[in-house]
C-alpha cells in the first residue's frame, strides 16, 4: 500500500478538555488511486490531510508513505520528504500575489530533485495564454489551475487536495475535477481529495468517510464514474 494510516490519533488541548480531532483512524490507499475523504465540517478531514502531508504531528499511531514511516521523520528528512513526495492544493489557491502564474510555478520547481517542464505543465492545465498574468487578473478556476500546476511541477508522488472546488461554481468545479482525473491518468499521481460534496465520491477509486474523527466507511468504488459524468 502506498499510504498506510495505522491507528492515528490527534488530540488538541481545548481549554480544560482534550479534543480528539482524529480518533484511531486506520486506512490505506493504493498507488495511482484517487481517494476521496468525505465528512461534515469539523470531522477531522483537514487534520488528517495535514498528518498525511507531514505538516502536523500525531499524538499516536503511524503514517507510512511508500514504506517511509513519516511520523518518525525529523528535521532535514522531514523537509526532504515533503519536498519530494507531496503537492498541496487548497480551497483558496494560496498563490503568491506579486508573482505571475509562471513565476508561482517556477519557485516550486526548484524545490524538488525531479521536476516537470513548466511550460508543458502550464499547457496541460490550460493556462498558456495566461502564464504571464498575476493571480488577481485570473478567475477562480484559472487560479486553481495555476495552484494545481504549482503543486504538480515537483512531480510529487502524492497530491493532497483540501476542498479544491470549495470556492468554485458548478461548471468550473467540474472542469477542475476533469483536470485531476486527467493528471491522475497521465502522470499516475496518487490523489487524496477532501470534500464535503458527496457527488465527488463517484469519481474516486477509494471512498473514505470520517465522522467525529472516526473512519465510518472505507471502501473501494466498484461503480466508478468519470468526472464528466458526475453531477450535483
Ligand atoms: P474538517 O477539515 O473536517 O472541517 P478539522 O480537521 O479542521 O475538520 O477539525 C477537526 C476538529 O479539530 C475540529 O473540532 C476543530 O475545531 C479541531 N481543530 C483543528 N485544528 C485545531 C487546532 N490547531 N487547535 C485546536 N483544535 C483544532
- Grid coordinates given for 189: 499521481
**Span of 5-9, 67-71, 107-111, 126-130 with lowest mean pLDDT:** 107-111
Provide residues with CB under 6 Å of ligand 1. Answer: 12, 19, 21, 39, 41-47
Model confidence at 116, pLDDT cuts 50, 70, 90, reads: confident
Q: Give the residue whose CA is nearest to atom 13 of ligand 1.
A: 42
**pLDDT reported for residue 196:** 87
How many CB atoms are closer than 10 A to CB 104? 24
Cα–Cα distance for residue pair 216/10, rounded to 1 Å:
17
Ligand 1 pocket: which of 44, 90, 164, 197 to mutate (most atoms within 8 A of CB): 44
Q: What is the model's pTM?
A: 0.94
Cα–Cα distance for residue pair 15/8, rounded to 1 Å:
22
Q: Give the residue whose CA is nearest to atom 25 of ligand 1.
A: 12
Ligand 1 pocket: which of 17, 19, 45, 164 to mutate (most atoms within 8 A of CB): 19
210 neighbors 49 (Cβ within 8 angstroms) = no
User: Could you read off the pLDDT of 180-209 as tens digits, one per residue?
Assistant: 999 899 989 999 999 989 999 999 999 999
Amino acid at each position: 500500500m502506498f499510504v498506510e494510516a495505522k491507528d492515528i490519533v490527534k488530540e488538541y488541548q481545548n481549554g480544560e478538555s482534550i479534543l480528539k480531532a482524529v480518533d484511531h483512524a486506520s486506512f490505506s490507499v493504493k498507488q495511482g488511486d484517487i481517494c476521496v475523504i468525505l465528512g461534515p465540517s469539523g470531522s477531522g478531514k483537514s487534520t488528517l490531510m495535514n498528518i498525511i502531508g507531514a505538516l502536523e504531528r500525531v499524538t499516536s499511531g503511524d503514517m507510512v508513505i511508500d514504506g517511509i514511516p513519516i511520523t518518525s521523520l525529523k528535521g532535514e528528512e522531514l523537509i526532504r520528504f515533503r519536498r519530494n513526495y507531496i503537492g498541496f492544493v487548497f480551497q483558496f489557491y494560496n498563490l503568491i500575489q506579486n508573482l505571475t502564474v509562471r513565476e508561482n510555478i517556477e519557485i516550486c520547481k526548484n524545490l524538488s530533485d525531479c521536476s516537470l517542464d513548466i511550460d508543458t505543465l502550464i499547457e496541460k492545465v490550460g493556462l498558456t495564454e495566461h502564464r504571464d498574468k498575476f493571480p488577481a487578473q485570473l478567475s477562480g478556476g484559472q487560479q486553481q489551475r495555476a495552484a494545481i500546476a504549482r503543486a504538480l511541477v515537483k512531480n510529487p508522488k502524492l497530491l493532497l487536495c483540501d476542498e479544491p472546488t470549495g470556492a468554485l461554481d458548478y461548471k468550473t468545479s467540474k472542469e477542475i475535477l476533469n483536470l485531476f482525473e486527467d493528471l491522475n491518468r497521465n502522470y499516475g499521481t496518487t490523489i487524496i481529495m477532501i470534500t464535503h460534496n458527496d457527488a465527488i465520491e463517484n469519481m474516486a477509486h477509494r471512498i473514505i468517510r470520517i465522522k467525529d474523527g472516526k473512519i465510518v466507511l472505507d471502501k473501494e468504488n466498484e461503480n466508478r464514474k468519470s468526472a464528466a459524468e458526475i453531477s450535483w
